[in-house]
């Protein structure tokens, strides 16, 4: 015992010098703030799972994850440096980067290989085909991604947009307005609008859905984004966040229950059954696509991303379409073998 005590100061000093003490370990963690695009829900549970199971910490990341208020807000948070990284719609990123050439944000991991965009009507309205939307009222927030890309969908399926009236609605009023008939159809994410309608008593079987993907619109959806400054100064941290997130997403794909438990831990008021359905819908329709099963989660087909950029630029009237490599950097992804979904 005497021998151990006599050497403890030297050992402690050596540990401190090498950064092996408690303080050194804490200092080795890179702190960053991460913003989601919306509330804590099933489809974003991978981030919460990775945080709660210590995957970020194991990669040297001390992360704080906050809810958001839309992709535009998430992009603004990251672009201004208030948050180092986040999760946002890559189509909103396309528009943001064109309008802000001096502060361009990049996507470093794709979440939704197929975007959940679409428009929805009640079958009782008599709307059966996209053409039937002409002469009707569309209820949508002006910042909604499905609404912003509706011009591209309309052009694809032959809808005359001049015959459609837009009613600007805040998100909480969107589905109720469809139910009470003050609008004829709404835009939104499939896994949000369908389930939010169910919450107010409208069954899925009563809804006529027009997903953009069914019309051949191959838009990508939400992606992990990072500020140019953080990418430049902390590339290893970006890679670490992506690695930990991919690990969590693979686990949730194999067992969605753990994702809902992670979300419930962060927000005890969620409806677990509802969020389980939302998560499974997003996995089935947006994440576990044929391309992802063959090529691994998190990456993109750059040629397809370029086509998407071209379509977005035309739909929202941008002066140019960004090049795919201006939007996405796949160098932070783990090897393909670590990204294959179960």
Note whether 184 and 204 are same-domain residues. Answer: yes
User: CA-CA distance, 261 to 50, in Å (whole number)?
Assistant: 12
The verdict on residue 238 lying in a domain is yes
- Which residue range is the domain that position 153 belongs to? 118-215
Closest CA to 79 of 226, 232, 236: 226
User: CA-CA distance, 326 to 307, in Å (whole number)?
Assistant: 14
pLDDT at 20: 39
pLDDT at 102: 85
Domain boundary among 199, 215, 231: 215
* Percent of the chain's residues with pLDDT above 70: 92
pLDDT at 151: 93
Note whether 76 and 153 are same-domain residues. Answer: no
pLDDT at 2: 37
Note whether 90 and 175 are same-domain residues. Answer: no
How many residues are present in the chain? Answer: 342
0.85 surpassed by pTM: yes
pLDDT at 17: 40
The verdict on residue 5 lying in a domain is no
Residue pLDDT, tens place only, 52-99: 999 999 999 999 999 998 899 999 999 999 999 999 999 999 999 999
The verdict on residue 1 lying in a domain is no
Note whether 248 and 230 are same-domain residues. Answer: yes
Note whether 312 and 171 are same-domain residues. Answer: no
User: CA-CA distance, 36 to 170, in Å (whole number)?
Assistant: 19
The verdict on residue 84 lying in a domain is yes
Note whether 240 and 329 are same-domain residues. Answer: yes
Note whether 170 and 254 are same-domain residues. Answer: no
Note whether 108 and 132 are same-domain residues. Answer: no
What are the structure tokens assigned to 178, written together? 């469809």
User: CA-CA distance, 174 to 242, in Å (whole number)?
Assistant: 34
Q: What is the CATH number of the domain that holds 135?
A: 3.40.190.10
The verdict on residue 3 lying in a domain is no
Domain boundary among 193, 215, 237: 215
Domain boundary among 183, 215, 247: 215
Instruction: Give the mean pLDDT per block of 10 residues along the chain (342 residues).
Output: 39 41 55 97 98 98 96 94 97 95 93 97 98 98 92 94 97 97 97 95 97 93 97 98 98 98 97 96 97 98 96 93 97 98 93
């Amino acid at each position: 015992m005497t021998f151990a005590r006599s050497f403890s100061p030297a050992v402690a000093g050596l540990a401190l010098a090498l950064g092996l003490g408690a303080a050194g370990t804490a200092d080795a963690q890179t702190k960053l703030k991460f913003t989601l695009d919306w509330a804590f829900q099933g489809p974003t549970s991978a981030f919460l799972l990775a945080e709660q199971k210590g995957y970020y910490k194991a990669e040297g990341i001390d992360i704080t994850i906050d809810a958001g208020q839309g992709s535009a807000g998430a992009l603004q948070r990251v672009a201004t440096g208030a948050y180092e990284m986040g999760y946002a719609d890559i189509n909103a990123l396309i528009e943001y980067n064109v309008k802000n050439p001096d502060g361009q944000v990049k996507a470093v991991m794709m979440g939704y290989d197929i975007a959940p965009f679409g428009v929805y009507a009640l079958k009782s309205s008599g709307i059966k085909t996209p053409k039937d939307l002409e002469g009707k009222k569309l209820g949508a927030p002006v910042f909604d991604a499905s609404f912003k890309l509706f011009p591209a969908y309309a052009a694809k399926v032959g809808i005359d947009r001049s015959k459609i009236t837009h009613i600007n609605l805040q998100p909480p009023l969107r589905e109720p307005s469809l139910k009470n008939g003050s609008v004829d159809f709404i835009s939104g994410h499939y896994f949000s609008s369908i389930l939010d309608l169910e919450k107010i008593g409208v069954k899925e079987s009563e809804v006529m859905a027009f997903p953009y993907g069914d019309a051949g619109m191959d838009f990508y959806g939400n992606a992990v984004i990072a500020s140019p400054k953080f990418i430049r100064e902390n590339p290893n941290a970006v890679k670490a966040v992506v690695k930990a997130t991919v690990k969590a997403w693979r686990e949730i794909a194999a067992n969605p229950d753990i994702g809902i438990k992670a979300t419930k831990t962060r927000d005890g008021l969620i409806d677990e059954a509802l969020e389980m359905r939302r998560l499974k819908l997003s996995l089935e329709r947006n994440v576990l696509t044929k391309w992802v099963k063959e090529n691994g989660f998190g990456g993109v087909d750059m040629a397809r991303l370029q086509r998407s950029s071209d379509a977005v630029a035309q739909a929202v009237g941008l002066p140019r379409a960004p090049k795919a490599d201006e939007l996405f950097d796949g160098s932070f992804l783990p090897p393909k073998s670590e990204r294959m979904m179960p």
